[in-house]
Copies of this chain bind each other. A is one copy, B any other.
Amino acid sequence: MSKIIPVRNESKKETISKNASKLFRKKGFSATSMRELAVDIGVEASSLYNHIGSKSELLQIICFKVANDFINQINELEQIEIDVTIKLEKIIRFHIHKMLEDYDMVYVANHEWKHLQEPFLKNFLNQRKLYENKLIELIKIGIFEKSIKKLNPQVLAFTILSAVRGLEFWQQHKKNIDIAELEKTMVTQLLNGIIK
Contacts and interface: CB of A to CB of B under 8 A. Distances in A.
Interface of A: 26-31, 85, 111, 114-115, 139, 146-149, 151-152, 154-156, 158-159, 161-167, 169-170, 173, 176-177, 181-182, 184-186, 188-196
In the A-B complex, the 6 residue pairs with the smallest Cβ-Cβ separation, listed nearest first, are A162-B166, A193-B193, A30-B30, A192-B193, A155-B185, A30-B31
A165 to B, nearest CB: 6
13 contacts: A148-B195, A151-B188, A151-B194, A155-B181, A155-B185, A156-B194, A158-B166, A161-B169, A162-B163, A162-B166, A162-B169, A163-B163, A191-B194
A163 B166 CA distance: 7
Contact of A155 (B114, B115, B165, B182): B182
Contacts of A166: 158-159, 161-163, 165-166
A188 B149 contact: yes
